Chain A
């Protein structure tokens, strides 16, 4: 484990990520080290292209890395295959996207119930859970409407309900207020913060909305793929990474596999840095 004392929700060490378009490298993340504790309402802030979404995608097991180590809920997500990642996301992570991304042909209730059905719950039970969460986000009376019959703010509330319906320990939100007017955005953030405090669910949000930053329990600023500043209202250091090997509890074969994977990643990073002339 990266930290033996705290059961961190997210532990990241020396994370590197570089995109390639043909032979052109586009560096996205450089040596990210970060820990998110349970119950935090952490906000990743930074300009467009600073690496917020990439970091969020990696934490959400949607994207791979070039090198580095990452544990989410004490699970080494980089060593998982696609199906294991999908399973992990289904049971542990809720997602809120900038463009709501609801299933257009389903009603609000069916959208929320869908994740419960994916988890194997019966349709009836899933619908009950969906009703509960729609009421929690104050749109219980709109459950029968399809996304195109809802306003942006209402759709984002459905997305919040969907994210919470699978009972996740971590919610990742990518620019959740970007498509909303400021008043609706403020209401949504207030709602998310309230759910965070009441349920204890950890939130990691990428945003450059000042209202979101204000609501944060921790603000992590990213610039050019690096963490440049971290502000924390919880009295503990923003980053408390120890030097112990995070994967030391893995079997030898897994450790060897990870070792070679990292070596390949380091080589790619070196190539990437060489091409772009940057230093991490």
Chain B
């Protein structure tokens, strides 16, 4: 058999392109619509997840927290960072850090005129905190903590409501000192805040770091050092750096994903949900391609029979049809992605306001206005998966074409 029996790539491309232009306009339009919708859905999902992540990080936890070893589990003040300056000095050397603050966290009890409730006391530096979280912007009534005002107190909205506390009210906080002694102190309610997470707003009480250190007799020690990175993606970089720099016998370093497993699970679930949508759309695309190719195969039986009769080898037929499927989906995917991107860009700035449709958005770090976001990974995911689907969907009809009974194909009128 002569090795020279071959067709140039140009001939395959030419045949595939012309067949596509002849037969596939409708399919192409369907594909473009499908991929554009997929791009928009994916951008909405990415935008929503990114906002949720940002809200979570900025509302309370920061990107990274450093604790004394075992504190996150014990929540015991004895597991504290005894020399916070040792850690704070490290912060200067990393440009990825745009802010950090020291905190004391402990549980306690709040009482206002006979009403009492369990609380989570968080003591922080009022100025430093504003570099790390946007908690100060969550003040719904009153003012943020004032530096040097040791009796200022902020309460989460729900706990304030439960206690019946109003701005200016005396609130007695009770907590345990390092030696186990229960102590109480009078604070004045200066503000009511919302973090965006109902479970936090149900228990949160914020006081200044200095007053907590004096009240609980903790000297200059703290329980948390909270760090904010310049971008989310640098969390891992910083995590690795601190793990290298700090002794794992003295400290535990926790990225935001570990600090609230529920949020992590929620984000993972949302990611998986995005995958499910992607999967469903891909299946639909696959069925569409398979359907088109099989109908095309049926319609073109005679033509395929003829080109085999005049000397086209079966592997060449296979390549021709596979190339057609890949080109069809490739063009559809690119055009669809462009169309989807245009829609995303046109609504990205103002966002899509869903407030009227779901009040449920207003909790758990969710924003009622979603700003769709195009990411490189979602582009790769959409285009890559679609092309893989095209290959899968193209293989069967192409293989089937190589099995056409010639004499029957030629007899078709």
Contact = CB atoms under 8 A, between A and B. Distances in A.
Nearest to B409: A62
A119 B4 contact: yes
Contact of B309 (A95, A114, A119, A123): A95
A123 B406 contact: no
A120 B6 contact: yes
A86 B8 contact: no
A89 to B, nearest CB: 5
B312 A60 contact: no
A62 B407 contact: yes
A103 interface: yes
A86 B314 CA distance: 9
A13 interface: no
A166 B311 contact: yes
Interface in A60-99: 60, 62-63, 82-84, 86-87, 89-91, 94-95, 97, 99
A162 interface: yes
B94 to A, nearest CB: 61
A86 B311 contact: yes
Contacts of A117: 7-8, 11
A118 interface: yes
Contacts of A60: 309
B303 interface: yes
Contacts of B308: 86
B317 to A, nearest CB: 10
Chain B interface size band reads 20 to 34
A258 interface: no
Contact of A89 (B10, B21, B22, B310): B310
Given A57-B410, A62-B407, A89 B309 contact: yes
A166 B5 CA distance: 12
Nearest to A87: B1
B327 interface: no
Contacts of A91: 2, 311
Contact of B2 (A104, A120, A123): A120
A84 to B, nearest CB: 7
Interface string B3-26: 011111011000100110110000
B377 interface: no
A158 interface: no
Given A57-B407, A62-B410, A83-B1, A118 B311 contact: yes
A62 B7 contact: no
Given A99-B413, A120-B2, A104 B22 contact: yes
Interface in B388-413: 406-407, 410-411, 413
Interface string A113-127: 011011110010000
A114 to B, nearest CB: 7
A252 interface: no
A239 interface: no
B313 interface: yes
A24 interface: no
Contacts of A103: 15, 303, 306-307
A105 interface: yes
B311 A115 contact: yes
Contacts of A120: 2, 4-6
Interface of A: 53-54, 57, 60, 62-63, 82-84, 86-87, 89-91, 94-95, 97, 99, 101, 103-106, 114-115, 117-120, 123, 162, 166
Q: Which 7 A-B pairs have the closest CB atoms?
A: A90-B311, A120-B4, A105-B18, A101-B306, A63-B407, A62-B406, A118-B311
Given A83-B313, A166-B311, 13 more contacts: A62-B406, A62-B410, A63-B407, A86-B312, A86-B314, A87-B5, A91-B311, A105-B18, A105-B19, A105-B22, A119-B311, A123-B10, A123-B11
21 contacts: A53-B411, A60-B309, A62-B407, A63-B406, A83-B1, A86-B312, A87-B5, A94-B310, A95-B309, A97-B410, A101-B303, A103-B306, A103-B307, A106-B18, A115-B310, A118-B311, A119-B311, A120-B4, A123-B11, A162-B310, A166-B310
